Each structure stands twice: as structure tokens, then as C-alpha cells.
Amino acid sequence: MTTVTLQHLTRRFGNVAAVNALSLEIQSGEMVAFLGPSGCGKTTTLRMIVGLLLPSGGDILFDGKSMLTVPTEKRGAVMVFQKHLLFPTLTIAQNVGFGLRMRGLPQNEIAARVTEMLELVHLPGFENRRAHELSGGQQQRVALARGLIIRPRVLLLDEPLANLDANLRLEMRELIRSIQQELKITSIFVTHDQEEAVMLADRVALMFDGVLQQFDAPRVFYERPLNAAIARFYRSENFLSGIKRGSQVETALGTLRVTSSDAQPDGPVLLTVRPEDVAIGAGPDNNRITAKVTAVVYMGTHTQLQLNVDGRAWRAEGPADFTAQPGDTLSVHLPDKRIWLLPTES
């Protein structure tokens, strides 16, 4: 197992910093997601870690040793790409065992480890098939097995599930997580999908425009985002300006009590509460605000309500059998333990 440390890692393309002074440490055996919108520097970071791209500045360390002068093939890091890149003329066994053949291992050892890897990715008996005979999900499993067979120190996955349909993505998420936990291999994967990051990662590194915004456990992004941009990325759409005085926030809709977030100093703040935490209907009399329904969408497991709150667009979630019509006025409760305070936006 290997600890990966990034120190002020930077990569420039001309005058543009695709990755700007990125610093973080990934613990041995940990699975970390690099999350963010397209073009934020996620894949560029992975390519620098594996050695396919030279940094413009900073350092990459495995267990405290700099990798900058270590060739890609000697770093002990392997990258599984979004496209499977399987050799079409080779059998599945030959594809999986390719890395071991390049290292000159005996054929009997290669065959034994290929069998072991195919069992690990739930493809026993597929040795003699060709890539075109497999589904997309099966091909991705083969690509994963091909990477793992060389027993790398670090496993890197570049949006490996992006080309799969919803059911296969869920299946592959569970498989990747179970294999990572079984092998206890330090793993880093790139995704733009918040749900995928939450399901797979021990911690998430959220990046915007090449800059690390927050590096925390998935739960923290929902409960303690550092700013409004992070909250929005995690689909918190409900914001209200106010003035914090101790445990209370004075807003245009009245004074609200807050017990969840005392990190913000007294003064101007931005209040946010997640849609699923907005309590509709009966409940406590405190922390109540009035909202007008602008749209109602039945989602199967719940009803999604779009609201107008003091001229701002809010969203709330009610039970599946909740009935409301656009134009209705509702009194909703904001639980004091589920209100988060953020710095005001410039």
C-alpha cells in the first residue's frame, strides 16, 4: 500500500493553469475521487500522477519519494481509461496477461494470475473469448483486471463508468469498491458525477478551474460545504441572505434559529438548506417561512416542489402522495440543525 502526496502540483498549457498549486495527501489504501465539471483539471492530475504528463511545477510523492524523475513503467501506478483499449485480436486471457508477458513472467504463472483476476472481476471462464464478444460492462471488467494483474501500488481510474448504462454503472461501482476494499490498494478515480463520488470514495477532492475547493469525506459536502459554489455543485439550490447574531440569523422572512453551523462569524451570511431537509406541512412552529409553489413534479419515490421564497427559486421534496398546485402558498419549516451558514458571495 502506498501514500500519495501532491505538493503544489501545477500544470500549465500556455498561459492557462489546468491544475493550479494542488496540494493534498491520499492515505495508504484509501479511495479518493477527483470530482468537478469538465475541464477542471481532474484527468490532467491523473495523467501527471501516472507519468503521462510532466508537471509545470510542484511534486508527486509515493511514500515520501518524488516520482518526477521516475519513468511511468517504474512508478507502480496503473491507469484504467474511460475507453477500454482492449486488443481486438487477442483473447481475454491474453489481454489480461499482457502486462505480465511484457515483464517476462513464466507462462504458467501468467495463466494462474489471469484466472485469479478474472474470478476477482466476476468473469471466470472468459479466457478464450474476444473483446467483441463481451458487453461494455464486461469489457470494462477486463480492463480493470488487466490493470490489477501487475499488482500496482496505485490504481488510477479515469471516468471508467461513463460509457455504461445506469444499471451497469451501479453494478460496476459495487464491484470496483469491493475489489478496492479487498485488495486495500490506494485508488484515485475521476468523475463528474456526485452520486458516483459519494458511493465509491472515502474522500472527495472537488476542483473548479484547476483549483482544489474542498477535500473531505462525502458527507461533509452535503452538511458543511465551504461556500455557495460548492453547495450548488452538490445540488443545494436554496439560499437566503441574512445577518448572523449568535445562534440566530435575521432574514427578510424573519429571524431563524441555527444550531448546526457556528463557524461563520457574526455579520452578513448566506443561509442554505438542502431540498430534502425543507419540511413541508405540519411540524414545529419555529423557523417557518412562507413559500409559493411554482411547479410540482412527481418523481416516483417523492414529489419535487419548485418554490418561490422571497423572490428566490427554492426546491423542496415532499412524500410521493403529496398534492399541491402551482400558485399554492405553503408554510415550510427549516430545521435548525439542517441550516448551514456560508460566506456571502461577492
CATH for 131 = 3.40.50.300
Residue 85 pLDDT class (50, 70, 90 cuts): confident
Q: Residue 89 has what pLDDT? A: 93
Checking if the pLDDT of 261 tops 70, the result is no
Checking if the pLDDT of 47 tops 90, the result is yes
* Contacts within 8 Å (CB) and 24+ apart, 240-249: 240/270, 240/271, 240/272, 240/309, 240/310, 240/312, 241/268, 241/269, 241/270, 241/271, 241/344, 242/268, 242/269, 242/270, 242/271, 243/267, 243/268, 243/269, 244/268, 244/269, 244/341, 249/339, 249/341
Answer with the one of 223, 248, 279 that is the final residue of a domain.
223
Give the mean pLDDT of 272-284. 86
Residue 190 pLDDT class (50, 70, 90 cuts): very high
By residue range, what is the domain housing residue 318?
Answer: 236-342
Give the mean pLDDT of 144-165. 90
Give the mean pLDDT of 87-114. 93
Checking if the pLDDT of 284 tops 90, the result is no
Q: Residue 161 has what pLDDT? A: 82
- Shared-domain flag, residues 98 and 175: yes
Q: Residue 144 has what pLDDT? A: 92
Taking only the tens place, the pLDDT of each residue in 8-34 is 999 999 999 999 999 999 999 999 999
pTM over 0.85: yes
Please count the structural domains in the chain. Answer: 2
CATH number at 304 reads 2.40.50.140
- Shared-domain flag, residues 32 and 136: yes
- Shared-domain flag, residues 22 and 78: yes
- Shared-domain flag, residues 26 and 137: yes
Checking if the pLDDT of 54 tops 80, the result is yes
Give the mean pLDDT of 164-188. 89
Give the mean pLDDT of 93-119. 93
Number of CB atoms found within 10 A of residue 109's CB? 11
Give the mean pLDDT of 77-98. 90
Checking if the pLDDT of 344 tops 70, the result is yes
User: 159 in helix, strand or coil?
Assistant: coil
- Shared-domain flag, residues 212 and 256: no
Q: Measuring CA to CA, how many Å separate 11 from each of 21, 101, 187, 189, 210?
A: 8, 34, 21, 19, 9
